[in-house]
Structure 1
Amino acid sequence: MSQSDLPYSVLVEFYEKIESTSSRLAMTDYLVALFKKTPVEVLDKVVYLTQGQLRPDYEGVELGVAEKLTLRAISKATGVPLKTVEELYKKVGDPGLVAEQLLSRPKQATGLLGFIGQEGLKHELTISQVYSSLMKIALATGEGSQDTKVNTLAGLLSDAKPKEARYIVRTVTGRLRLGIADMTILDALAVAFTGSKAAREVVERAYTKRPDLGFIAKELASNGLEAIKAIKIEVGVPVLPMLAERLSDPAEILEKLGGQCLAEYKYDGERVQAHKKDERVWLFSRRLENITHHYPDVVNFVSMLKAEEAVVEGEIVAYNSDTGEMLPFQELMHRRRKYDVDKAMKEYPVRVYLFDIIYLDGQELIEKPLPERRKILESIVPAGSEDILLSKARLVDNAKDLLLFFEEAISEGCEGVMCKSVSGQSVYQMGARGWLWIKFKRDYRMEMTDTVDLVVVGAFHGRGKRAGTYGALLMAAYDPQSDTFKTVCKVGTGFTDEDLANLPKLLEPYRIPHRHPRVVSRIEADVWFVPAVVLEIIGAEITLSPLHTCALGKVEPESGLAIRFPRFTGRYRFDKKPEQATTEAELMEMYKSQRKTALQQ
């Protein structure tokens, strides 16, 4: 084996250690040791594999292999009849363990292993070999692609040791379940290649411009911290989007923003980061997924911008072509399909409302204040277009005008308004949630009339009619300060029969045997999950609870915040990452506002 490669067995050893701990500090230490041991030539591959992927999200290289194909590959590699493989899978529920167990048995005379002979004759798998095979599987398309996937995976498994097979199969099926967040990897990279966490801020800053952990890792290891500092925004590579806080009192919002703000319609659509370079256009979602395929009409709209190169942000909104009325988010989601895109485009036409610009013709604009960015954006939007427009906005300096503009936005079919700082420090904070942008949504001063987006972290087995599925889900809010998810309610109402039937399948890829290290809970769930799936929840009110950990001790000693009578709205927020869910701070503000109103009555 070349010195520029690493045995895959070494990676497996670290995976076992990481999988066995619920301590984030221990995870970080293991990653530091792994990165130091990895030759720089394959460091990016090790990082991608540890993330459970092959390339950054925005490149759209999907590795997921269907369950049936995986079992076929295991059968072919081991010589065990497919029926036997399927029966074992029904028992253990983990295709990775199936592969491990079958490869641990005495070798069969048939199948690929029959040609290998003794275990000792196998050559040692390397990171490069595993990665190359997985890429071949991921990129196989068209006629014969299923056979290519099965044969490639079977060949890889035939060379693998039992434990290696466990993690190879978990990787290809999207069930690696290590529970490692991007922020943990950034911590480990900073320690491994600079000696301490002191450089973490610099590394994270580069990551906000180039959200590609494999690239960041290799660049840092090869060329040092100065090379990381030199990373620039690149058209075609999405940056991490800026996020907002939330308040419900117009006067308080203005006070936070220095007495004046730019209030913009908060459209009920899909946030998009659009990149234009000459004749080419890329569209990225809030999660940094490449959604260009879904919106060929938006590609045409963006191509009309008066710029050679640009990175702009906006909201894609569906509308009624007969009345011009904006349609809700649920209608827009009909556009998220692989097939019949042209048909969907006609049935659900869209407009794009732009609200920010990040880059223009070779110049990064993130350090410029919002008023200046807005003027630049306005200068490149084609005049008179009905398809790509500036978001409706108004400069306000008093609570009455802000409330009137908010009510106007609601009456036009919007969710509310975004209130943005117009000070000299109103920069674009990539990947950050701060008080430069504040969401002002529907009035929740009398009761909880606004929805929240919470993350599924656990579940409880159903009984009676719900036997065989989940009776309730444990939901959590995100705390960016500690990078953890804190429980706020158990929700079991609002689900249709179809929802209940599909929940186990939807959540299975994220199921883990213990509480996730980033989940803070006083409640012991029957089943735990990696924080990944975001659901929209509504409730009667936000109340104090000693059972939940959201804002624990921050409002009242020994009590956290909980949602009373929570209900699933039917809206799956697949467009949001778990770190983009409602935060602990937002729930605290909602609770304080609710309590203030109650005291005034």
Structure 2
Amino acid sequence: MQEPSPVVVSMEFSEICEHFEQLEQTSSRLEKTGIVTSLLTRAHRDEIPIVVQLILGSVFPTWSTEKVGVGEKLLIKVVADVTGLTEGTILGYLKDTGDVGRAVEQAMENKKQVMFLTEDLSLSRVYDDLTKISQYEGKRSQDKKLKILAGLLTNASPLEARYLSRIVVEKMRTGVAEGTVRDGIARAFGMPSDVVEKAFMVSNDMGLVAKKACEGEEALSTLSLMLFRPIKMMAAQKVSTVEEGFEIVGTPCAVEYKYDGFRMQIHKEGSKVRIFTRRLEDVTRQFRDVVGVVRENIGGDCIIEAETIGIAEDGRWLPFQQISRRIKRKYDIDEIIDKIPVMTNVFDVLYLNGESMIDEPFKSRRQKLEKIVTSVPRKLVLSEMVITDDAEEARTFFSESLSLGNEGVMLKNLSSPYTPGLRVGHMLKLKSVLESLDCIVIGAEWGTGRRAHYLGSFHLAVLDENNMPVMIGKVATGITDEMLETLTERLRPLIEYEEGKMAHIKADLVVEVAYEEIQKSPHYESGFALRFPRLIRMREDKGPEDADTIERVYDIYESDML
């Protein structure tokens, strides 16, 4: 007679929240790693992937299209229903604390309604209910979401409510980055950190990595690239001159147009094609024209990377801002496809016919790419590239690229692998002289006079060592009325609360900002300020995690001092 399967006793959600609070109370990365390790060793192996995802502040992996889909306004409505407080009172808590988790915690401490029959929350109950919420769509879906979320909050302690709320809106504020979780997994299961890192690079799923690490190094080594599970894209470092670039990547090297377009990761299996952004968002619907041309003109099952640019009627290459309208477009897609046709410039292959290409040298990957791409003028082409060790030839190619409306050139080491998710030294970008930073908009001020209905004077932030936004300045110049209208429309749903003319905004939108100089400043949390900043454009292809870092700001400041 077969023995019955053992019953898995789920971890108490309160225990996880106690660890979250410990993480929040220390700034030491070493201590944070120890807390993550402790939590992972206490969790049942079936729940380890869930624990890891919640540590990172989300219910689902970044590549997943599933979302809880509950914003702060809906959350506050639920909290008001559960506590008997007014939404205005809870908004007041939010203004005082600047943190939705703390605001909900305070509301639960001051609730007017007392529930006599409550039950302890388990991790499995929280995860299952949040997963159910993500699956509701269509009519009455909001009511169903409210009911489930209310059930969780009714049984939550104030501390549990703090972290439950943050998980729902994906703003954990514990200062735990992926690197800390990686090291925690390595320590918990006795794995080398570089092995864990490699597994995460190819899977883009830290929860899955932890599960495999728990099973052993052999199980961990089975993780590899998978079609339709996008991975983080490799990023380039910046250089100021061709000579500097040559010194870093070595010569001869590949010098390639840096298009002013939209970077895509395209997955193809047979006739099935899906397109992902740098933020791993699925934009297949918005680029149906690209899907068609890829399906017909790229051979084999593959994962390729490309830069797609808009093409004007006269053949001119259009700036990124023109094509960026497609990324968030949900309606009238065919209209904008007809209005702004695109050309996709393919530059790398990461996976081909069942085999990962990322460990192969760039030169080999390029050769394989050339064999599977059939060029279609003004629709699908290989990226323009030369291989050279001649600085003058590279400068001429750079000038040619700029004259076509591109941003500059890329310089690539011919022997280098593809390193997912990292900003590497074997791929560099050389742009025009004007320096810029990719900053996160974390606040804005309502205008006056004829601009009273627009947000302006945007508050900018870069990422600190814990990947938290820290303010580096404000920008109010270089912004047309049309751009103000677009920015206001984009940012209005992200407003968390307002104080007079000041709107505090959820960190989501990245903008490119030019400046004359970086100065030290005691006025901003970053310790630096941008002198004469000017807004260049929105970067809808980038998420807040792609913004520039305080480390880069410091490096630029130091180099300017030399």
Q: TM-score, normalised by structure 2?
A: 0.85
1:161 to partner: Cα distance: 2.9
Distance 1:389 1:582 in 2: 30
1:220 to partner: Cα distance: 1.2
Which one of the candidate residues 66, 70, 74 is aligned to 2:71? 66
Which one of the candidate residues 194, 199, 208 is aligned to 1:206? 199
Pairing of 1:115-126 with structure 2 (within 5 A): 118=116, 121-126=117-122
Pairing of 1:554-569 with structure 2 (within 5 A): 563-569=530-536
Distance 1:561 1:103 in 2: 38
1:391 to partner: Cα distance: 0.6
Change (3 A) 1:169 1:369: closer
Change (3 A) 1:179 1:527: farther
Per the alignment, residue 3 of structure 2 pairs with: none
1:561 to partner: Cα distance: 7.6
Query: Per-residue displacement from partner, 1:257-312 (whole Å, max 9, x unpaired)?
Result: 33322111111111111111122112121122222232122222221244331011
Per the alignment, residue 180 of structure 1 pairs with: 176
Distance 2:466 2:73 in 1: 36
**Letter of the structure 1 residue corresponding to residue 184 of structure 2:** A
Q: Is the 8 A contact 1:307 1:361 kept in 2?
A: no
SS in 2 for 1:141: coil
Q: Is the 8 A contact 1:265 1:418 kept in 2?
A: yes
**Letter of the structure 2 residue corresponding to residue 200 of structure 1:** S
Pairing of 1:94-493 with structure 2 (within 5 A): 96-97=101-102, 99-101=104-106, 103-104=108-109, 108=113, 113=115, 118=116, 121-194=117-190, 199-221=192-214, 223-320=215-312, 322-336=313-327, 337-422=329-414, 425-442=415-432, 444=433, 449-455=434-440, 473=459, 475-476=461-462, 489-493=472-476
Distance 1:73 1:477 in 2: 32
Per the alignment, residue 514 of structure 2 pairs with: 538
SS in 1 for 2:200: helix
1:344 to partner: Cα distance: 2.2
Distance 1:383 1:134 in 2: 46
Pairing of 1:543-582 with structure 2 (within 5 A): 545=520, 563-569=530-536, 571-582=537-548
Change (3 A) 1:237 1:305: farther
Query: Per-residue displacement from partner, 1:49-80 (whole Å, max 9, x unpaired)?
Result: 222222112212122313443344334445x3
Q: Is the 8 A contact 2:264 2:308 kept in 1?
A: yes
Distance 2:219 2:503 in 1: 44
Distance 1:168 1:348 in 2: 43
**Letter of the structure 2 residue corresponding to residue 216 of structure 1:** V
Q: Is the 8 A contact 1:254 1:398 kept in 2?
A: no
Q: Is the 8 A contact 1:488 1:548 kept in 2?
A: no
Change (3 A) 1:300 1:403: same
Distance 1:463 1:310 in 2: 49
SS in 2 for 1:273: strand
SS in 2 for 1:150: helix
1:428 to partner: Cα distance: 1.7
Query: Per-residue displacement from partner, 1:523-572 (whole Å, max 9, x unpaired)?
Result: xxx99999765331111245x6476999x9xxxxxxx9864322233x23
1:55 partnered with 2:40? no
**Letter of the structure 2 residue corresponding to residue 70 of structure 1:** L
Q: Is the 8 A contact 2:324 2:540 kept in 1?
A: no
Distance 2:505 2:24 in 1: 13
Distance 1:237 1:562 in 2: 39
Per the alignment, residue 44 of structure 2 pairs with: 39
With 485-494 and 385-394 compared, the bigger mean Cα shift is at 485-494
1:129 to partner: Cα distance: 0.9
Aligned length: 541
SS in 2 for 1:335: coil
Distance 1:414 1:234 in 2: 32
Change (3 A) 1:71 1:507: closer
Change (3 A) 1:130 1:249: same
Change (3 A) 1:257 1:123: closer
Q: Is the 8 A contact 1:71 1:85 kept in 2?
A: no
Change (3 A) 1:189 1:549: farther
What 5-or-longer segments of structure 2 have no aligned partner? 1-5
Q: Is the 8 A contact 1:85 1:98 kept in 2?
A: no
SS in 2 for 1:282: strand
SS in 2 for 1:58: coil
Distance 2:467 2:64 in 1: 27
1:39 to partner: Cα distance: 0.8
Query: Per-residue displacement from partner, 1:209-232 (whole Å, max 9, x unpaired)?
Result: 0111111111112x1122222311
**Letter of the structure 1 residue corresponding to residue 242 of structure 2:** P
Per the alignment, residue 91 of structure 1 pairs with: 92
SS in 1 for 2:318: coil
**Letter of the structure 2 residue corresponding to residue 564 of structure 1:** R
What 5-or-longer segments of structure 1 have no aligned partner? 510-525, 553-559, 597-601
Per the alignment, residue 520 of structure 1 pairs with: none
Q: Is the 8 A contact 2:252 2:387 kept in 1?
A: yes
Distance 1:252 1:231 in 2: 37
